[in-house]
Amino acid sequence: MDRLLVLRLRSSGIPAEALLNGIALARTPRGGGDVCVPVHEFVVAGANRLELVVDPPPPMAGAPGPAPTIGDGAARADAALLLPRVGHLAADTTARMLGQVAWASPEGELVRPPVVLHEELDIPVRFPRWRWLDAPKVTDIDSLRASAAIYLQDMAIALARGDPEHMIVTARLRFEELALAYQRPPADDLARWRARVQLLHAQKALRPELPTPESLHLRLCADGRLLECLLADGLPALRCARPDGSQVFWPMRLAAVERRFYPLR
């Protein structure tokens, strides 16, 4: 693989969020920022929906959203899908742009957040049909919160013990599809995961928080087919703190099939 498909989100003076096929993949803070992430495992054959949300609401259901403002003419945001060569910067001058959604603050005009813009893109990269596309839609989040919290607690306990195998078994489908998306041998990905867990355990950096039904927020994504597991700050629920105070996050987007959970992304 000599090219890497990436999603780039940039904003200035305003927070923004970028989604691909209904899955939030990048978010900038209130003052703005620049985020770039690889997205092979979120791309589908045919039409892909690139979405830009300007001044997005908090990820947690029920949290108050941002208030209307008067545009200052300076704030701006854009989300772009780029195809740079591996090892090169994902910049306009060095990468092929496959699509872009952009917004600029209208000076003196009322802005009612969130402002949502989108574009349908036919991306010339062919991937197999990912399993999350066929997951059943979730119709009752509240009924799944307690069992999802227990599911994540089991993962956290295994990580605290320095056990990489629990995640390998539980998230087997995810490991398989990530290796396929980036054209890597699955055994190499599993070896890297085992080494990562062992290193963090040796550094005494595996003391994960245990999500509870009260602390866990489940956010629907992928057109209601996946549940993104978050805490009150909008960041992944499965996390641990290093001795230096920095945090390690493991994003979890779960499919729910007959009350069983499968991490697919």
- Going by pLDDT thresholds of 50, 70 and 90, the confidence category of residue 89 is low
Task: Record the tokens describing residue 65, joined without a space.
Answer: 């959203």
Strand partners, 37: 7
Whether pLDDT at 88 is above 90:
no
Whether residues 148 and 226 fall in one domain: yes
Residue 219: which pLDDT band, with cuts at 50, 70 and 90?
very high
Residue 7, beta-bridge partner list? 37, 81
| Domain membership flag for residue 85 | yes
Q: Are the C-beta atoms of 103 and 96 separated by less than 8 Å?
A: no
Are 71 and 108 a contacting pair, CB within 8 Å? yes
- 11 within a domain of the structure (yes/no): yes
- Residue 49: its pLDDT value, please? 97
The C-alpha angle with vertex 67 and arms to 64 and 70, in degrees rounded to 5, equals: 165
Segments forming the whole domain that contains residue 34: 6-127
How much is the average pLDDT of 37-48? 93
Choice between 213 and 59, residue whose per-residue pLDDT is larger = 213
Average pLDDT rounded to a whole number, residues 117-137: 91
Q: How confident is the model at residue 244 (pLDDT cuts 50, 70, 90)?
A: confident
- At 150, is the pLDDT very low, low, confident or very high (cuts 50, 70, 90)? very high
pLDDT-derived band at 116 (thresholds 50, 70, 90) equals: very high
Q: pLDDT grade, residue 128 (50/70/90)?
A: confident
pLDDT over 70 percentage in the chain: 95
What proportions of the chain, in percent to the nearest 5, are helix, strand and coil?
20, 35, 45
Both 48 and 153 in one domain: the answer is no
Q: How far apart are CA 70 and CA 191, in angstroms?
A: 52
Within a domain: residue 1?
A: no
Task: Mark whether 107 and 160 lie in a shared domain.
Answer: no
